[in-house]
Structure 1
Amino acid sequence: MLKIGDFSALSKISIFMLRNYNEIGLLIPAHIDEFTGYRYYSEEQLTIANRIQALKSMGLGLSTIKGILAEYNNEDSLKRYLTLQAAQKQEEIEILQKQLLLLQTTIKGLGHSTSLSRFNIAIKELPKRSVISYRSTISAYNQEGILWRELSVEIEKQNIQFANPSYNIAIFHNEGFVEHQIDVEVQRAVVGKYRSTAVIKFKNVPATIAATLTYKGGYIQLSEANEAIANWISENGYEFDGPIFNIYHVSPETEPDPDKLITEVCFPIRNK
Structure 2
Amino acid sequence: MFSIGDFARLGRVSVRMLRHYDAIGLLTPATVDPASGYRFYRAAQLGRLNRVVALKELGFTLTQVQAILDEELGPDALRGMLRLRRAQLEAQIEADAARLTGIEARLQLIEKEGHMPTEDVVLKPVTPVRVAELTAVSPTYETADIGPVIQPLYAELHRRLAVAGVKQTGPGIAYYTPAPDGPGEAVVVHATAQVDAGPHDGYDFEIVEVPAIPTAATIIHRGPMDNVEQSIQVLARWVEDNGYRTDGYVREVYLDYCPDNTAEGVTELQLAVTKS
Q: TM-score, normalised by structure 1?
A: 0.50
Q: TM-score, normalised by structure 2?
A: 0.49
Give the number of the structure whose alpha-carbon radius of gyration is greater: 1
